Copies of this chain bind each other. A is one copy, B any other.
């Protein structure tokens, strides 16, 4: 058996070479590839992803995984055992797939990405529609090919993103969340307090924003020797290799806050990546932090820290030093402005209160589109209707509507992670506040202590536990939006003085 484990690890080492190359090429594709070279570069990506698939799904690899799985109870090292279980689960998804199917799938996704970019640029959903249909169709075919699957189709997609957190959980979770958010929005709506926001759209040159981004990343504990920062259309973070977790952002001259919170958010993902256990890497299980857990961390840095009174106090002097555009803005005015609640069109720019509604809209649409209650043709109209119903806003065009996010170019299942992330971190922050003088640490910028606590409590088992197990282990409780709603109510009571 040890011999087989050894052989398996040799394969995984080889696959890691392909993953590393694919990571670099994907990063290039999303950050710097010139317009006219996009298609050629997508071909390269698809070719090497397919080579990766062929190694992973070869008869030899399959046999190794299946043999080891049969003997898994006699594997001594628990992380080796976990690895075999993960590979077995993954294999259930691909065992009946041909390399041709895998290639076709990649080609559909990359074509969808290219058409999405173009459609968004031209604010025209009709340019993306056919690709979107192809994506949903191939995702359905891929699920149909699985050796093991859940009865409800959409549950399979949810389960891929957040193992064990299915429609039943989410329906309940989102119902409670929605109710709480709408109640809070109502209180805010009736507040007489006016938050100053005139300076939010002031023009700020990009080079100043760049300097400030580097300051924030370093401040929060991101190690630039093990990562890099550059720009993209839709900010993301990617773990290219053990010592290479890269962050991206998008600068807008007339929305300086957009970059600031992208940076803190993406930096949060990267801090998790830079602080995963070495043993997880050594055992090839380092990519098993669920999306919801990951978002809990990024949104912990973005919101719980980044939008707190203490953090604004901490960064205010540097902000004044970097930007002479805000000489007339006080610390309190800045704090209130980064927390202004305003139903709006764009998810990534939304405040903490309305954000959840953006997610609920996407979740409901994914459900309807997955179970045939909504067609791809009618999707923009439904999108616009839900934005009107839930947020009261009119969507002026598809770019600011259904085309705003990149996610649907590679299928469904991801969005709930963001809302789960908010609730996860609200739950574990309660423990953090008991064990450390959290607010004081933020105020004095002691991120070493905060990141150490995160590493030792939040990150430590993230690669080996399911979201539900991890949350139980970390907080002693089960998933609920209560702590998050409580956090929001406390915070906004002070801001909106209700």
Contact = CB atoms under 8 A, between A and B. Distances in A.
Contacts of A225: 34-36
A230 B231 CA distance: 12
Contacts of A47: 17
A244 interface: yes
A40 B207 contact: no
Interface string A238-269: 00111110100000000000000000000000
A33 B206 contact: no
B36 A25 contact: no
B207 A41 contact: no
Interface string A1-32: 00000000000000001001100110110001
A44 interface: yes
Contact of A244 (B21, B34, B227, B241): B34
Contact of A24 (B44, B230, B241): B44
Contacts of A44: 17, 20-21, 24
Contacts of A244: 33-34, 36-37, 40-41
Contact of A207 (B20, B21, B207, B241): B207
Contacts of A33: 228, 244
A48 interface: yes
A24 B41 contact: yes
A47 B13 CA distance: 12
A230 to B, nearest CB: 7
Nearest to A44: B20
Given A17-B44, A28-B28, A37 B207 contact: no
A205 interface: yes
Contacts of A223: 36
Contacts of A40: 20, 241-244
A182 B28 CA distance: 47
A241 B37 contact: yes
Nearest to A206: B207
A273 to B, nearest CB: 12
Contacts of A246: 32, 34
A21 B48 contact: yes
A166 to B, nearest CB: 37
A204 to B, nearest CB: 12
A195 interface: no
Given A17-B47, A41-B244, A207-B205, A226 B27 contact: no
A184 interface: no
A385 to B, nearest CB: 38
Contacts of A241: 37, 40-41
A427 to B, nearest CB: 33
Contacts of A391: none
Nearest to A207: B207
A47 B243 CA distance: 18
A369 interface: no
Interface in A182-206: 205-206
Interface string A198-224: 000000011100000000000000011
Contacts of A35: 225
Contact of A32 (B48, B207, B228): B228
A24 B28 contact: yes
Contacts of A27: 28
Contacts of A20: 40-41, 44
Interface of A: 17, 20-21, 24-25, 27-28, 32-37, 40-41, 43-44, 47-48, 205-207, 223-228, 230, 240-244, 246
19 contacts: A17-B47, A17-B48, A20-B44, A21-B21, A21-B44, A24-B28, A24-B41, A32-B230, A34-B225, A34-B226, A34-B228, A36-B226, A37-B226, A37-B240, A37-B243, A40-B242, A41-B244, A205-B207, A206-B207
Q: Which 3 A-B pairs have the closest CB atoms?
A: A207-B207, A37-B244, A36-B243
Given A20-B41, A36-B226, 18 more contacts: A17-B43, A17-B44, A17-B47, A20-B40, A21-B25, A21-B48, A24-B44, A32-B228, A33-B244, A34-B225, A34-B243, A35-B225, A37-B244, A40-B241, A41-B241, A205-B207, A206-B207, A207-B207
